[in-house]
Amino acid sequence: MDLKLIADIATIVGSLSIFLTLIFIVIELKKSVDQTKLVNNANRDLLHSEWLHFWSDHQNAELVSRGRGNYIDLTSAEKFQFEQFIEQRIRLFVFALPTVQNETNLEFHYARARDFFGHSGAMNCYLALKERQLLAPPWTDFVDKALKPELKG
């Protein structure tokens, strides 16, 4: 064997090892991304559970019930609390969107938003927050898209 042949073989072996290393890195990155998504979904579920428990407390549930019925008649302090309720729910809707994998799931999220804003007080509060520009445009875009079929029907 001459020196050139040995160098060519070493180059091939080196290139192959680099290629296999890159494949390994890609596989590990994919696993890491999948794990991050799972943790993100678990954290989102925990946040949603905590939100539900907080607003299901008797005193908070009474405020939500009154606010859904008539946002306009709430006191200033109650309006502030109800606005926080509406804003947090919108955030939960929007932050759940990364879990959407197809159009069916997106329609499910839209249906939940339509149901949530089916209460006149919730809708009045949303419109008041939107008018005062207190909601981020991606949030209002989601809610407006979700409500569009309701406006046609």
Residue 31, phi-psi category: left (phi > 0), alpha (psi -120 to 50), beta (remainder): alpha
Q: Is the pLDDT of residue 153 over 60?
A: no
> Which DSSP string corresponds to 38-65?
HHHHHHHHHHHHHHHHHHHSHHHHHHHH
pLDDT in tens, 48-96: 899 889 999 999 999 999 999 999 999 999 999 999 999 999 998 888 7
Contact (Cβ atoms closer than 8 angstroms) between residue 50 and residue 60: no
- The predicted-structure confidence for 89-100, as pLDDT tens digits, reads as follows 999 888 877 776
The residues spanned by each domain of the chain are 57-152
